[in-house]
Structures are given as C-alpha cells and as structure tokens.
Amino acid sequence: MSRQSISFTSPNDEWLKTQVDSKEYSSKSELVNDLIRQARKQQAQVDWVRAKLEKAEKSGFTKDSKEHILKQSKASLNGKI
C-alpha cells in the first residue's frame, strides 16, 4: 500500500475527525479509502448509464414503457441481468 501526504481544509478535517471519533471509522485513512471506493463505484455506474444512453441513441426509438426501462436498468445495476 502506498503512503501519501495530503492536506485538508479545516471543515473537511473536522468532519474526518468527527467520523473517526464516532467510531464510524478507525482512522482517517480508512475513511478516505472508503470515500474513494464509493466514488469509484459511482463513476462506474455513471459510465454504465452513459454507455447505455449512447447505445440507445444510436439504436433509435423503443416501444418499451418508461416503467419497463426503469425496471431493467435497476435490475442491471443490481447485477440481476
């Protein structure tokens, strides 16, 4: 694991300290790594949606209902498709 030195603004540092003090995380490093994992997961979801939208734009119109499209999208995000 690589070590990094980073600086935080006062409000962000206080928030990090509060999270660690509340025993939500054992260290600032653990918290920052968790935030990065969450951001990476969110980015993967955004990329997936973007790819689906681009594919849809290229394929033309659909006769599927909004509800059906939403159901399929949620199932796919949850790994059920």
Summarised one tens digit per residue, pLDDT across range 60-75 is: 777 889 899 899 888 8
User: 40 Cβ partners below 8 Å, 6+ apart?
Assistant: none
What's the distance, CA 62 to chain centroid? 28
Q: How far apart are CA 18 and CA 12, in angstroms?
A: 10
What per-residue confidence (pLDDT) applies to 76?
86
What per-residue confidence (pLDDT) applies to 9?
98
| pTM tops 0.95, yes or no | no
pLDDT at 79 over 80: no
Better-predicted residue by pLDDT, 9 or 57? 9
Average pLDDT over residues 24-34: 96
Q: How far apart are CA 77 and CA 45, in angstroms?
A: 7
- State the residue for tokens 């199932």: 75
Q: How far apart are CA 35 and CA 28, in angstroms?
A: 10
What per-residue confidence (pLDDT) applies to 81?
60
Which two structure tokens, joined as six digits, stand for 44?
A: 């993967």
